[in-house]
Amino acid sequence: MASDLPDPRDRANALRVRRTTEVIGELLPLPGRSVLEVGCGEGALLGWLRRRGATAFGLEVEAARLQRARAALGPAGLAAGVGEALPFPDAVLDAVLYHNSFHHVPRHRQTEALVEAARVLRPTGRLLVLEPLAEDEYFELMRPLEDETGIRAAALAAFGRAEALGLAPVARARYVQLVQRRSLEELLAALVAADPARKARLAEARPAIEAAWGRLGSDTPEGRLFRQPMLAFCLERRAEGPVIAIARTAEERHAALDLRLAVFVHEQSVPLEEEVDGFEDVCEHVIARLDGAIVGCLRWRRLGPQGPVKIERVAVRADRRGRGIARAMLAWCLARIDGMGLGPTVVNAQLPVTGLYAGLGFLVEGEIFDEAGIPHRRMVRPAGGPHIDMPDG
């Protein structure tokens, strides 16, 4: 007897079937543009980008797939690498592309991959991520070998932090990608090629995959065709407002320290020995640039191996205050802390700016206390605190 329950595939069946190249061509300008594909595999899509007039570079973490890509396309523009540490200078690319690869970035490094994409993109450059959803035929086919439900959900959640990291949404669309496999053996080889660690589990998973092969998909003269619902995220590097980044060079760190000395020591009369303490080398230092100049900074550190995170030394140049620079730095920093699975986060906030921190999810804890002769309140934001909506511009 037919079930009265809805078919769980109805939602996917209602989606439009689209080619990957069609989606990319719609969302990324290609002729004459510089494009980086992260997780380029064996180079099929990278070759298409080049034939469409893009100066296309490819990164691939798997040595065997990278070797095959180089054999097909030549070695130029192809390198070993990962999305969370892109081997490119700042602001040099027009587009960064992930196709079926963002969820392969380790869960607590996915936000770093967004930070890196924003760093290497030029203003108004685009990040396009085409992610498979954990549903329908092709997902069910591979599920006995590896259930990616959790990691794919984490990848989607990472995009909730993108605006705080300087990436404004341009488009978001669902569609269906059709995956052709000529044989069961080709399918298994493709699944292992995407992640060689799966090879150890292949023998145990094979019977279930073989059964799914016969149950799912549709026959074609070239083998079997499987549906894979996809979600396309297109984001654009903001052209206005502060550019937030980690202070990576000695010059940047010195400029951040000079700014702190101007604000805290000279303007607020904090003793030099209290401002420049013994934690400088164990902190990550964050800077904000406006019109090319460093106009804001902060630092953060972990209070013990399993302790909370402390954000401190938040400073903005006097002639650039009132432009949301402190809030932008804090939101950027909190997005990264959340993405790394750290927290809770604490600050010792000067009384006039407690409202700023409250707006970012911090709660007052304890009484007013004196620090360097200035009244403060301790404020705490829970781990993975609230989603922060960043204003446009």
Q: Which CATH class is domain 243-381?
A: alpha beta
Low-confidence ranges of the chain (pLDDT < 50): 1-10, 12, 387-393
pLDDT score at 4? 40
Tokens read off for 206: 């094979």
Collapse the DSSP code of 299 into the 3-class scheme (helix H, G, I; strand E, B; otherwise coil) and give the result. strand
Query: What's the CATH superfamily of 10-237?
Result: Vaccinia Virus protein VP39 (3.40.50.150)
Element of type H or E holding 140:
helix 136-142
pLDDT score at 7? 43
pLDDT score at 194? 85
Task: State how far the Cα of 311 lies from the Cα of 105, in Å rounded to an integer.
Answer: 26
pLDDT digits (tens, 9 = 90+) for 52-72: 999 999 999 999 999 999 999
Q: How many CB atoms lie within 10 A of CB 14?
A: 9
pLDDT score at 385? 63
pLDDT score at 13? 56
CB 21 within 8 Å of CB 182: no
Examine domains 10-237 and 243-381 and report if their fold is the same: no
Q: Write down the residue that tokens 């205050």 correspond to.
A: 321
pLDDT digits (tens, 9 = 90+) for 208-260: 999 999 999 999 999 999 999 999 999 999 999 999 999 999 999 999 999 99
Domain boundaries, the chain: 10-237, 243-381
Mention every residue, 6+ apart, whose C-beta is less than 8 A from residue 244.
Answer: 165, 166, 286, 287, 288, 328, 329, 332
pTM: 0.89
CB 301 within 8 Å of CB 281: no
